[in-house]
Structure 1
């Protein structure tokens, strides 16, 4: 009888072990799927942010038409994070299923300008302007992937890697008195679709739902439905071959071109929900901390060309969607002072001290500025209406040795407002832009507390 009880107990132990092993395997599998979903969320963050931005903007700006901003950006400008206060923007969203698009501009004299071309994965595939193509009047044709048709004689051809693309034009405004002349230059920009629709093109992006489009700055709030948006982008804009390993992983969750994975298998949906949370923490963590060097400034050193560094791509999209390549413009972001404390406008403020030989190194055709944003990366209203300060700010006072001190805080320094960049009472973010930089290894001075 005793032997029988032992045998029964042994069998129960064996069954329990097998069940425990199955439970552990299931837990491991769920963990693996959540990790895949987290990586997939990071992968999809930039193209989803871009697609949402596009959806919101084409409610006002029809595709394949160039819209030129007539006023400088201000606190009311809240469509794309981190707008600059240096240039007038010209914007176009291209749908190359309609055929190639011809972009022309006039002779630009000495005025800096640039048309930046981005694919739907936020990679920069071309620049037309001062640095890349020069100041002479120009004609450029932007063609869809694999285009072999005819183009206008004398026009330079630029092939887009994706069927949808974003054109960001920037036209420098030297001063308030120069605004009208900058507008006049913009009015001579022109965009034209050249041919009829292409029959074998992939499907278009989903139609926009004006007034109800989800916000580009709140992607995580959509949970697993983010992967539906990514699936639509994959169908409309086939990604580069280098993304194949990531796409294979995503397919295990049902994330494939044109699918609606949020309505898929419950376990996959659960994994996607967990992945959104995990992936977003990675992106927020990267965007909220400094990197590259010992000081408080992080540099978007590799912006515009991301390859398979999807986390870097997502981090740039979080704080500076539409950032250009470093040879065109460098971006330095600071959220803390020299001691590591968060930047705040209350208190005694901060000094940025540039030695006479330590100003941002730029080409003579370029320019630089320091811009202040709230934590959401948009301008904050202030009594001066000054959102950036830089080499074109009138009345800047230099030291006797040629050095330059910029003062940042809620109150002006004792020396007066000439070198003052107003800040809100709470936390803020600084971004130093250097257009046409000549030394990409240069680093800005750390914000020093006190006056």
Structure 2
């Protein structure tokens, strides 16, 4: 999916709709979903406000339309869980004053207002796909009705978001210097999200050689940028592992399941040591088969759920069958071959207390496991997997739900016996 136009500038304020599901060649997003279609847009509010149009939601279909500021903060989301009201939403620039007002305004006709604290931002729409034959319907019938329109409102005075702004005359072979030079160009029009923190951030940037008024970078004397850069990266990488930043979800030996605290998820406010990334805390070994046991029953979600395997680089694992995830719209079966789900997602009854999911390395999978297996990288390469819940209910976050048990087993183990 490309967001570049013929003049090599970025095509801002317009959606670039993906028309195929993510596979092993997909490199637009790290750790992609394999059961949603993506639509991406770069927001440029330098010339004024922008309006996003959200169509009527199809019954039973989940989608999420999140808005991000320049620094990766998810300042607002609309869609199935938060607000599924169809209509036009105003996106405006409010320096250091992020807001997500989803109450319709009868005076201006907008269904809500999203205030970005930075001039530049992004949208990453995700639409649930029921099965492979559903893709064409979404592409032709749903995606075209998500639109962006620029308004003729007062300009912010910021330069337009172009490839030249982001690339020209920046250090190409020095990552720390490149980052600081780029930040110098955009900092004055893209302040910290928290107004109360703006002065402290400006002082810190000035110490680092960035002047928010001159939009240029001057490296402080006697500063080793490479050393400072590595120190900062090491500090940030340790933050997600701090138990104080995690919400326990339950223990299923030998794994303790947890997620980032809601207060630190998506919108980081003044926590600059938090960054939008996934952290894997469980080590999985090469050339080993693992069995994932969902003994807590079907995950109770208002949207959908999936278990997806990734290679060590965060992208999907190449395999002959293009098989990347399992979930409520896949081929999961009970040991006797009965489908766990029928139709689209959570439309089937019954308990799921004895079904198993399994990941396999570079081996042939037995016929009885074909519906419940996921391939991991060949040749014993590093891998990870992520369990996602879209629209989780309280049972998945209050310790009530029994999270899956993951154990190492022999390749193609015997099917479990109902207990």
Please, what TM-score do these two structures have when normalized by structure 2? 0.76
Aligned partners of 1:405 and 1:200: how far apart in 2? 55
Residue 71 of structure 2 is aligned to residue 121 of structure 1 = yes
Question: 1:190 maps to which residue?
Answer: 147
Instruction: Compare relative contact order (CA 8 Å, sep 6+) and give the higher one, 1 or 2.
Output: 1
- The Cα offsets for residues 147-172 of structure 1, whole Å up to 9 and x where unpaired, read as 9xx99524422222211111111111
Aligned partners of 2:167 and 2:374: how far apart in 1? 35
Give the number of the structure whose residues are more often strand, by fraction: 2
Aligned partners of 1:181 and 1:122: how far apart in 2? 31
- The Cα offsets for residues 228-247 of structure 1, whole Å up to 9 and x where unpaired, read as 22222312312232253243
Aligned partners of 1:171 and 1:236: how far apart in 2? 32
Aligned residues: CA RMSD: 3.4
* Deviation of the 1:446 alpha carbon: 4.2
* Deviation of the 1:445 alpha carbon: 2.4
Question: 2:309 maps to which residue?
Answer: 372
Aligned partners of 2:403 and 2:198: how far apart in 1? 35
Distance change >3 Å, CA 191–CA 152, structure 1 → 2 = farther
* Deviation of the 1:377 alpha carbon: 0.9
Aligned partners of 1:450 and 1:344: how far apart in 2? 12
Aligned partners of 1:130 and 1:145: how far apart in 2? 26
**Gaps in structure 1 of 5+ consecutive residues:** 1-52, 320-332, 337-341
Question: 1:17 maps to which residue?
Answer: none
Distance change >3 Å, CA 238–CA 279, structure 1 → 2 = same
- The Cα offsets for residues 354-373 of structure 1, whole Å up to 9 and x where unpaired, read as 11x3443312xx10001111
Residue 53 of structure 2 is aligned to residue 104 of structure 1 = yes
Indicate if the aligned counterparts of 1:140 and 1:155 stay in contact, CA closer than 8 A.
yes
Distance change >3 Å, CA 77–CA 435, structure 1 → 2 = same
- The Cα offsets for residues 302-338 of structure 1, whole Å up to 9 and x where unpaired, read as 321212222222xx24x4xxxxxxxxxxxxx6452xx
Name the SS of the counterpart of 1:224 in structure 2.
helix
Question: 1:236 maps to which residue?
Answer: 189
Alignment map for 1:185-334 (pairs within 5 Å): 185-196=142-153, 198-204=154-160, 207-208=163-164, 222-239=175-192, 240-241=194-195, 242-257=197-212, 258-261=214-217, 263-268=218-223, 270=224, 272-286=225-239, 292=246, 293=248, 295=255, 297-301=257-261, 302-313=264-275, 316-317=276-277, 319=278, 334=280
- The Cα offsets for residues 184-242 of structure 1, whole Å up to 9 and x where unpaired, read as 2112222211215x34433445644899999xxxx996133322222223123122322
Distance change >3 Å, CA 361–CA 199, structure 1 → 2 = same
2:125 pairs, out of 159, 165, 169, with: 169
Aligned partners of 1:431 and 1:89: how far apart in 2? 18
1:351 pairs, out of 271, 288, 291, with: 291
Indicate if the aligned counterparts of 1:87 and 1:172 stay in contact, CA closer than 8 A.
yes
Indicate if the aligned counterparts of 1:367 and 1:434 stay in contact, CA closer than 8 A.
yes
Alignment map for 1:425-444 (pairs within 5 Å): 425-439=380-394, 440-442=397-399, 444=403
Name the SS of the counterpart of 1:397 in structure 2.
coil
Question: 1:158 maps to which residue?
Answer: 114
Distance change >3 Å, CA 344–CA 220, structure 1 → 2 = farther
Distance change >3 Å, CA 120–CA 78, structure 1 → 2 = same
2:86 pairs, out of 137, 141, 148, with: 137
Indicate if the aligned counterparts of 1:371 and 1:431 stay in contact, CA closer than 8 A.
yes
Name the SS of the counterpart of 1:169 in structure 2.
strand
Indicate if the aligned counterparts of 1:119 and 1:160 stay in contact, CA closer than 8 A.
yes
Question: 1:362 maps to which residue?
Answer: 301
1:83 pairs, out of 32, 55, 59, with: 32
Name the SS of the counterpart of 1:84 in structure 2.
coil
Aligned partners of 1:312 and 1:188: how far apart in 2? 35
Count the aligned residue pairs: 362
Please, what TM-score do these two structures have when normalized by structure 1? 0.71
Deviates more, 1:180-189 or 1:84-93: 180-189
Question: 1:7 maps to which residue?
Answer: none
* Deviation of the 1:429 alpha carbon: 1.4
Question: 2:356 maps to which residue?
Answer: 405
**Gaps in structure 2 of 5+ consecutive residues:** 98-105, 337-350, 411-419
